[in-house]
Amino acid sequence: MSAQPGVFVVMEGPDKSGKSTQALLLVRALRRRSVPVVHTREPGGTSLAEAVRDILLDPDRKIDPLAELFLYEASRAQHTREIILPALRAGKIVLSERYTMASLAYQGCARGLGLAVVRTLNRVASCGLVPDLTLVLDIPESEFGSRPRGSLDRIEREGADFRMKVRQAYRRLSRAEPRTLLVNGRLPVAELHELIASKVDGLLQKEDFMKRVMPPERESSPPGGED
């Protein structure tokens, strides 16, 4: 559990693995139960970090791998301090599409910078924050081409080799990193949502989140109230 009263959940996985689809469904399901949730993403999540995102994803830019790593970490530092930590301190659930594991997979493994330097910068940029649960959506490389896409960003323009390295890295990291769950991203959307929602429910129960954070009147009917 994080040092804060909130709960930090991260959706990870290769490009087009379904992170946004599942994040939206989870956020809607939580909000229907009046659970306070902040939905955010990396790179981005704040005005500065979204500007960094535009630079990172611009297909016309040539960015050195180390500079790329620093840009992701700059975005993360701003995002963590401006959005994530205040929301966790306020007892909210934070759901972020991508966080530190993405840098390990993309820059550490696929770009070949190595895990050590990425772990060091991750720790600094995240203030040592570790997600309570990281859900990794796993899809084979071939799935990227068969899912609908708009125009490709700078990272999506990398070839199949790059995508295979990213996928393998996520699968390895899922086994090694704490509080991480690898799920089959090829399951039908609704089935995947049920699976993810039940894992998050389990986490909220374990963390006693509802009792700690939700207003007490939500826990039981008022005396004399209707059933």
Ligand X SMILES: Nc1ncnc2c1ncn2[C@@H]1O[C@H](COP(=O)(O)OP(=O)(O)OP(=O)(O)O)[C@@H](O)[C@H]1O
Distances (CA, A) of 50 to 46, 135, 139: 6, 23, 26
Q: How far is the CB of 199 from ligand X (least distance, A)?
A: 16
Among 19, 53, 76, 167, binds ligand X (CB under 6 A): 19
Which residue's structure tokens are 């689809």? 21
Long-range (24+ apart) CB contacts under 8 A made by 189-193 are: 189/18, 189/21, 189/22, 189/25, 192/18, 192/22, 192/137, 193/22, 193/25, 193/26, 193/29
Q: Can you name the residues that pair with 94 across neighbouring β-strands?
A: 8, 38
- Cβ 65 to ligand X shortest distance, Å: 19
- 66 or 152, CB closer to ligand X? 152
With contacts defined by CB under 5 A, name the span among 17-25, 79-87, 100-108, 183-191 that binds Mg ion: 17-25
Q: Which of 4, 17, 46, 103 binds ligand X (CB under 6 A)?
A: 17
Comparison of 53 and 92: residue with beta carbon closer to ligand X: 53
Nearer to Mg ion, 6 or 44 (CB): 44
Partner that binds at residue 223, options Mg ion, ligand X, none, CB closer than 5 to 8 Å by kind = none
Task: Kindly state the tokens that stand for 197.
Answer: 């929602």
Kindly tell me which of 82 and 153 has the beta carbon lying closer to Mg ion. Answer: 153
The tokens describing 84, both together, are 């994530």
Interface positions with ligand X (CB under 6 A): 13, 15-21, 147-148, 185, 187, 189, 192
